Structure 1
């Protein structure tokens, strides 16, 4: 009897944990989409609501922004994304950390320059703070993949 009860409790716990990971993956996908849209709009309050103050944001050219610089560049249009398309997104959850990888294809018009295209592979690290996912780190590398 006790063995059956322990087995049943273990089964219920496993299902609950599995369901939570699925819900977390959905939430991370949703917050990643909010980030994509905020990077296009350059809306300061939306950008700030998605990141941690400790953000480290690595560009494919080697420059690393902190949270303040990341937001300022997008708000001022120094980094101006006209479009961002994301493909092949993969989300892995490890405890309160989400690792997101995706292919990033964008059209930019940085600081008023003529539009140009950028193709990158991105690694995002999100952390769960209370019930919200916040961006802690991002690293981009140049990619040869086409849209």
Structure 2
């Protein structure tokens, strides 16, 4: 059972690329209602604040390269580490991101949803 759970968690984490591409299209199903989304500047957003940035157009993600490094499943929770290179368009200008991050996922009613995201900037 653990193998299939790990594969399921890996697929959910892999959908991050789809989430990155679809945030501005209104697809928010992978985020848990209680998500805490950290940023490299030390700030953190709840779900409403994070999604509000995409709904208003003040943030758009572009050109994402995403590589999952590790997935660890603990019952109905999973920890995923990954490397992400991406360009973000902000109201203040363009930002090139190069991060490693840990995300925490929870399995509820047969669906994996992200409950936490904490990135660290990587020097180029």
What TM-score, normalized to structure 1? 0.75
In structure 2, what is the equivalent of residue 11 of structure 1?
none
In structure 1, what is the equivalent of residue 3 of structure 2?
22
Is residue 83 from structure 1 mapped to residue 60 from structure 2 by the alignment?
A: no
The correspondence of residues 102-141 of structure 1 with structure 2, limited to 5 A, is: 102-111=82-91, 113=93, 115-141=94-120
Residue 88 of structure 1 and its aligned partner are, at CA, apart by: 4.5
In structure 2, what is the equivalent of residue 72 of structure 1?
52
Gaps of 5+ in 1: 1-19
Alpha-carbon distance in 1 for matches of 2:103, 2:85: 15
Instruction: Specify the structure having the higher radius of gyration (Cα).
Output: 1
Residue 90 of structure 1 and its aligned partner are, at CA, apart by: 0.7
Q: How well do the aligned residues superpose, as a CA RMSD in angstroms?
A: 1.7
Residue 128 of structure 1 and its aligned partner are, at CA, apart by: 0.7
Gaps of 5+ in 2: none
Alpha-carbon distance in 1 for matches of 2:92, 2:63: 15
Question: SS of the residue aligned with 1:109?
Answer: strand
Question: SS of the residue aligned with 1:24?
Answer: helix
Number of aligned positions between the proteins: 123
Is residue 51 from structure 1 mapped to residue 40 from structure 2 by the alignment?
A: no
Identify the structure with the greater strand proportion. Answer: 2
Contact 1:88 1:102 in 2 (8 A): yes
Question: SS of the residue aligned with 1:62?
Answer: coil
Contact 2:17 2:64 in 1 (8 A): yes
Is residue 38 from structure 1 mapped to residue 19 from structure 2 by the alignment?
A: yes
Question: SS of the residue aligned with 2:40?
Answer: coil
